[in-house]
Structure 1
Amino acid sequence: MKLFDQLVKTVEHFDFDKIANERKGVLEVLVAYIQSKVDAHQEVNLNFICTHNSRRSQFSQIWAQTAADYYGIEANCFSGGVEVTAFNERAVDSIKRAGFQVSAKGQENPVYYVLYAEDASPMNCLSKLFDDPINNAKEFAAVMTCSHADENCPFIPGTEKRIPVRYDDPKEFDDTLQEADKYDERSMQIANELFYVFSKIVGAK
């Protein structure tokens, strides 16, 4: 599997040493969960959850699936929220700048088909509830990417483990001169951390 050229350039700039030790401690819980499933020869199912499933959880699903496939770890990465909105266009533009190829279908809550390589299956990305049928795993880790969802979703059916991995919301920079830079900054933080997570799995290529 060969990533698109622009995406290769993005990945080459990842630097795991820039992840603070405190943050690596947070990520270690996710590493341990994935490793336990790999060791038991069980499916790895990750559902990244944020309130609106519009920015951080979408970034997380896309980068996690890309990282898993990049390191040769079989994993199913999903995302969802507690309210349905849309995959924010600013976040979509950010993943395009990173090197993903994206096409869309629909208007109000479009389905975005996100591709990282010619020979890969596209990820179908849209805003949806965490228990939407498209997230068809019965047993999964709920990875909470925002504080609001983490604090206001006390029970998520089907969850084997709940793992808070919170990120700041780039939404606060909407319609400012910093908008694109801040969306890219958040996307790259999530990407760097999730590539770090999958690089730590014993059995990764």
Structure 2
Amino acid sequence: MLLKKEIQYLKSSFEVISEERKKVLQDLVRRIQQIKQDEVNLVFVCTHNSRRSHLAQLWWQVASEEYDFSFLKTYSAGTETTRIHPNTLKVLMKQGFSVESRFLQENLSEENPKVELSYFGNRSVKCFSKTISDNSLPEQFIAIMTCGHAEVNCPFIPQAEFRFSLTYEDPKISDGTSQMEQTYLERSRQIGREAFYALSLLK
């Protein structure tokens, strides 16, 4: 299965993560371990909730299932609502997730569709763009900021037990260029690799 091969690749390439970045991820794991609750909710936040935050939500969800951490639940949100970008869906499909082909179109009649991403045959996550105040999010969570803009423009999140900076370069910079597919794949793999590395440390 394509996704299982991708997971094995991500788990076998931790050496490409810099020591500095590993320290950041180790710090995040320590913070997660300090939450003494039966369920720990992670909400990944970027400005438009269209690319990085969705990639993080999906990969941290898959990694938590891979390591059998059923107490971890993942979500994503933004400081404003747009839609999950088709390029985000395309790279996830390339890595082994399944999604209806109609959601890959740039011009949909639905402004912000709820997209079901399936994996391993019988598991799925429903993704759509939402703000940090959306009622689909849990009442308490750890806010993980995946872009610097959201971190600056979302200075206070009342529901967050704490917030953590884990930023990534926006693959949007490659949209419309010959480097687009490769850039999205690199970013998705970076996020996925770091999710598997971090959760491999969780006790």
| Alignment TM-score, normalising by the size of structure 2 | 0.91
In the TM superposition, 1:18-97 aligns within 5 A as 18-37=16-35, 40-74=36-70, 75-97=72-94
Letter paired with 2:21: R
1:108 maps to what in 2? Answer: 111
Pick aligned residue for 1:8 from 4, 18, 33:
4
Q: Which runs of 5+ in 1 are unaligned?
A: none
2:106 maps to what in 1? Answer: none
In the TM superposition, 1:175-194 aligns within 5 A as 175-194=176-195
Q: In structure 2, how many angstroms separate the alpha carbons of the residues matched to 1:130 and 1:96?
A: 26
| Alignment TM-score, normalising by the size of structure 1 | 0.91
Coordinate RMSD, CA, aligned: 1.3
Letter paired with 1:110: P
Segment of structure 1 superposing worse, 40-49 or 82-91? 40-49
2:15 maps to what in 1? Answer: 17
Q: In the alignment, is the contact (CA less than 8 A) between 1:114 and 1:124 conserved in 2?
A: yes
Q: Per-residue deviation at 1:41?
A: 4.4
Q: In structure 2, how many angstroms separate the alpha carbons of the residues matched to 1:131 and 1:199?
A: 31
Q: Per-residue deviation at 1:25?
A: 1.2
Segment of structure 1 superposing worse, 96-105 or 68-77? 96-105
Q: In structure 2, how many angstroms separate the alpha carbons of the residues matched to 1:112 and 1:146?
A: 22
Q: Which runs of 5+ in 2 are unaligned?
A: 104-108
Q: In the alignment, is the contact (CA less than 8 A) between 1:65 and 1:77 conserved in 2?
A: yes
Q: In structure 1, how many angstroms separate the alpha carbons of the residues matched to 2:172 and 2:76?
A: 18
Q: In the alignment, is the contact (CA less than 8 A) between 2:79 and 2:153 conserved in 1?
A: no
In the TM superposition, 1:124-163 aligns within 5 A as 124-135=126-137, 137-163=138-164
Q: In the alignment, is the contact (CA less than 8 A) between 1:65 and 1:76 conserved in 2?
A: yes
Q: Per-residue deviation at 1:45?
A: 0.4
**What is the aligned length?**
194
Q: In structure 2, how many angstroms separate the alpha carbons of the residues matched to 1:101 and 1:88?
A: 15
- 1:78 is paired with a residue whose SS is strand
Letter paired with 1:53: N
Residue by residue over 1:118-141, the C-alpha shift from the partner in whole angstroms, topping out at 9 and shown as x without a partner, is 232x11101110121111x12211
Structure 1 residue ranges (4+ consecutive) displaced by more than 6 angstroms after TM superposition:
none
